[in-house]
């Protein structure tokens, strides 16, 4: 199959600048002719998803392959594996798409076959690729199927590119979608502004395909579950009267059936005199995988209401990274997990669910001799660090394994931890490079923050405002000075302080 970087009705389509599978599934994909059918992603509808192997890592399993979130992924410890979607009804799939994960390019699928079956036993090859390489992280590539026919079961049999720099031969993919023609009224809409201020009129315009006969809008302020604004028509207008986020739902009907699209936090309404009025922390869910260790017992004794603790930290943290609530990444949920593991803590999840995992083993073993006050202080510091990971921005076209991106992500998290006052068990040390991340980079950034106003906010913003992004370019943008010169001055200040203490 020939590939092209242009949208075509015959070959492969590439989406490299942030295009999402959600937009593919909810819009009419056309090649500018009157006869092009409207297609939908059938994996958005009822069906069964299965995999050759059981999930390797929690929250990086088969479900994440179909969640339409580019920051999540399916990860297998096997270099070769298949995944499968089985529809309730026969579907004529005419194209499919794959989206690369956000890291480790060698784990990408490089060779695959798309198989289809009517009975789940006898399979036919719809398409196959070999030696394929994604051009970027989070890239969506769509392929046309030469001979589309009706099937119920669709299996993607994949093999990774090879061994990573860490020595593993895992397989990963962020998303997998299957597109088939439909006559349903695929609901979609545009909004003339996603951020506005109190008193400004907002216009919603339907872009629903397949000749809808009725369209109903439901507009609801986040947290106001008992009241909603209901409107009818292809284009509607309203004026928000409360600050905060608004969810918008469009329900469409036509002669064939119905379809609806729900967009959470589709509109954010700002009160300029109170920039944080209307901000509500995400719902918190607490999951204890370990309920027997001494670490578990100590954690629940020191923090009897983890939801309140997480919300309190969140409300203090986000104003350190952003100027108002409209700039804060949206999460519908923060999931706190406690598990017996070697890693002290980590942040995972996707665009909607931030997962923060703590180690009960660390609390049980390494903090066993520390008094309660010290343990509480340490765990709050870890929470500040991990929640910062959830809310901070990430450099475009970079992945965590790159040293500069690692220094940015971990350094920013420790900067916020330091500025929050949870750094007193650590101290800056002379070092040859700023690339270490954590306290190595964090204390350097804190030193810079003492000299430059709004440093954390401005440095965080460089992740999205500088392209191509680099740590040196980010520092230059905020300080107007060269990174190497600043690092040498910082090292000299550490040496001076060390000499004074001696």
Q: Where do the domains of the chain lie?
A: 12-181, 189-269, 281-391, 396-502
Residue 175, judged by CB atoms within 10 A of its CB (0-12, 13-18, 19+), counts as buried
Helical packing angle, 471-479 and 438-449, nearest 10°: 20
Rounded to 5 degrees, φ, ψ at 191 are -130, 135
Rounded Cα distance between 252 and 260, Å, is 6
Q: Does domain 189-269 have CATH number 2.60.40.10?
A: yes
Taking the CB of residue 57, how many other CB atoms lie within 10 A of it?
A: 14
Give yes or no on whether 12-181 and 189-269 have one common fold: no
pLDDT in tens, the chain (502 residues): 333 222 222 334 544 333 332 233 333 333 333 446 899 999 998 899 999 999 998 789 999 999 888 788 999 999 999 999 999 999 999 999 999 998 899 999 999 999 999 999 999 999 999 999 999 889 999 999 999 999 999 999 999 999 998 899 999 999 999 999 999 999 999 999 999 999 999 999 999 999 999 999 999 998 777 789 999 999 999 999 999 999 999 999 999 999 999 999 999 999 999 999 999 999 999 999 999 999 999 999 999 999 999 999 999 999 999 999 999 999 999 999 999 999 999 998 888 899 999 999 999 999 999 999 999 999 999 999 999 999 999 998 788 888 999 999 999 999 999 999 999 888 898 998 999 889 999 999 999 999 999 999 999 999 999 999 999 999 999 999 999 999 999 999 998 887 777 6
Question: Which of 469, 398, 423, 413 is closest to 445 using CA atoms?
Answer: 413
Taking the CB of residue 364, how many other CB atoms lie within 10 A of it?
A: 18
The number of residues making up the chain comes to 502
Structure tokens at 225: 């579950």
Rounded Cα distance between 170 and 229, Å, is 48
Q: What is the pTM of this model?
A: 0.81
Instruction: Classify domain 12-181 by CATH number.
Output: 2.60.120.260
């Amino acid at each position: 199959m020939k590939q092209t970087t242009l949208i075509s009705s015959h070959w492969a389509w590439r989406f490299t600048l942030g295009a999402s599978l959600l937009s593919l599934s909810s819009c009419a994909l056309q090649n500018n002719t009157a006869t092009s059918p409207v297609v939908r992603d059938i994996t958005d509808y009822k069906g069964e998803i299965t995999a050759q192997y059981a999930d390797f890592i929690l929250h990086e399993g088969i479900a994440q392959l179909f969640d339409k979130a580019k920051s999540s992924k399916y990860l297998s410890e096997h270099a070769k594996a298949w995944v499968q979607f089985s529809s309730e009804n026969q579907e004529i799939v005419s194209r499919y798409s794959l989206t690369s994960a956000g890291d480790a390019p060698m784990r990408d699928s490089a060779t695959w076959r798309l198989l289809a079956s009517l009975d789940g036993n006898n399979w036919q090859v719809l398409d196959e690729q070999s030696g394929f390489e994604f051009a970027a992280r989070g890239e969506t590539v769509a392929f046309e199927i030469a001979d589309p026919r009706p099937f119920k079961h669709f299996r993607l049999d994949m093999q990774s590119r090879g061994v990573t720099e860490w020595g593993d031969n895992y397989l990963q993919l962020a998303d997998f979608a299957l597109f088939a023609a439909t006559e349903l009224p695929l609901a979609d809409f545009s909004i003339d502004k996603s951020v506005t201020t109190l008193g400004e009129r907002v216009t919603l315009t339907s872009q629903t395909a397949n000749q809808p006969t009725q369209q109903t809008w439901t507009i609801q302020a986040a947290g106001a579950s008992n009241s909603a604004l209901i409107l009818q028509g292809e284009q509607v207008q309203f004026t928000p009267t409360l600050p905060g986020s608004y969810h918008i739902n469009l329900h469409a009907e036509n002669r064939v059936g119905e379809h609806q699209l729900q967009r959470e936090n589709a509109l954010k309404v700002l009160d300029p005199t109170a920039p944080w009025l209307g901000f509500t922390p995400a719902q918190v869910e607490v999951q204890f995988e370990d309920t027997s260790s001494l670490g578990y017992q100590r954690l629940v004794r020191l923090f009897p209401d983890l939801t309140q603790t997480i919300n309190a930290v969140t409300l203090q943290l986000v104003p350190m990274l952003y100027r108002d609530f409209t700039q804060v990444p949206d999460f519908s949920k923060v999931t706190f997990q406690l598990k017996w593991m070697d890693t002290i803590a980590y942040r995972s999840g996707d665009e909607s669910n931030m997962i923060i995992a703590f180690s009960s083993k660390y609390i049980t073993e390494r903090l066993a001799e520390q008094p309660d006050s010290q343990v509480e202080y340490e765990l709050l510091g870890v929470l500040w660090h991990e929640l910062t990971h959830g809310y901070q921005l990430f450099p475009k076209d970079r992945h965590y394994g790159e040293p500069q991106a690692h220094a940015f992500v971990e350094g920013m998290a420790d900067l916020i931890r330091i500025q929050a006052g949870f750094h007193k068990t650590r101290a800056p040390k002379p070092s040859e490079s700023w690339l270490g991340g954590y306290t190595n980079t964090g204390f350097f950034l804190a030193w810079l923050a003492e000299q430059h106003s709004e440093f954390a906010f401005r440095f965080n913003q460089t992740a999205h405002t500088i392209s191509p992004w680099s740590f040196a370019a980010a520092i230059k943008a905020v300080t107007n000075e060269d990174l190497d010169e600043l690092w040498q001055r910082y090292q000299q200040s550490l040496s001076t302080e060390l000499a004074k203490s001696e």
